[in-house]
């Protein structure tokens, strides 16, 4: 259940939903687990709205970040979505809130990149190598996969930096879960194969102290670009 102090905050972020009283038990549970991440995002004045889909589409993931009209849209697509249960299949019940919180931090990482105006952009000093694909269509697809993979890599590091900040004793749980999830990708170097970045953060001590999670993630993310 949502903590009473978190409920007004979360409802203030809801941009589209059937109404607070009509949120499902699963939506309420996921929002409750995400409350500390969303509170931090609001402190930073990130432009985040929560959108609750009345019905999930066939390819919708349970939690995703979209962008519209200069704002970030944290979209919950859980109604009629088997992925909402499958993503936590086999996870002990006492670890599920931790992983939901990490997923929320991952999505807020996307919002931060968007709000900073660096979505799909490389850090200063990096030069893009030409694509090797043989046709314009394949080169375009390769660029899209590469750009998505990089953003996913940043956000996975953000989830880990957040975990180290909030739950350092459980860092290994989140890292192992992310590594397992990313190792199950259908193709190597696909859009969500972030292992080049996860391998740089086997424990939370790699994140520099005294920085925000975003700064911590950005430092390691740049290193991962060299091996991606």
3-state secondary structure string, 201-216?
CCCHHHCCCCCCHHHH
Predicted confidence at residue 1, as pLDDT, reads: 35
170 token code pair? 């459980």
What are the helix (H) ranges across 4-92? 6-13, 25-33, 35-43, 83-86
Q: What is the mean pLDDT of each run of 10 residues along the chain (228 residues)?
A: 47 51 88 96 95 91 95 95 90 96 98 96 76 74 88 98 98 97 73 91 94 95 87
- Residue partners of 157: CB distance under 8 A and separation at least 6: 109, 197, 200, 201, 216, 217, 220, 221, 224
pTM of the model: 0.88
User: Which residue in 149, 150, 159, 151 sits closest to 201, CA to CA?
Assistant: 159
Predicted confidence at residue 142, as pLDDT, reads: 80
Predicted confidence at residue 190, as pLDDT, reads: 64
Predicted confidence at residue 5, as pLDDT, reads: 46
Predicted confidence at residue 114, as pLDDT, reads: 97
Predicted confidence at residue 154, as pLDDT, reads: 98
């Amino acid at each position: 259940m949502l903590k009473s102090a978190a409920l007004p905050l979360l409802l203030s972020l809801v941009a589209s939903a059937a109404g607070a009283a009509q949120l499902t038990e699963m939506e309420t549970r996921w929002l409750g687990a995400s409350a500390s991440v969303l509170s931090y995002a609001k402190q930073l004045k990130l432009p985040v709205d929560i959108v609750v889909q009345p019905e999930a589409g066939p390819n919708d993931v349970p939690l995703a970040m979209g962008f519209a009209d200069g704002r970030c849209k944290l979209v919950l697509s859980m109604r009629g979505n088997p992925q909402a249960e499958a993503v936590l299949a086999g996870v002990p019940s006492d670890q599920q809130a931790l992983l939901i919180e990490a997923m929320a931090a991952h999505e807020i990482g996307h919002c931060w990149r968007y709000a900073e105006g660096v979505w799909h952009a490389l850090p200063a000093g990096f030069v893009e190598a030409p694509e090797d694909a043989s046709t314009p269509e394949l080169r375009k697809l390769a660029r899209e996969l590469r750009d998505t993979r990089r953003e996913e890599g940043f956000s996975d590091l953000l989830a880990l930096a957040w975990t180290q900040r909030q739950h350092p004793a459980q860092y290994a749980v989140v890292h192992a879960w992310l590594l397992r999830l990313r190792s199950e990708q259908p193709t190597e170097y696909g859009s969500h194969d972030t292992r080049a970045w996860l391998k740089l953060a086997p424990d939370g001590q790699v994140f520099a102290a005294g920085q925000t999670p975003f700064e911590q993630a950005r430092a390691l993310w740049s290193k991962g670009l060299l091996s991606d």
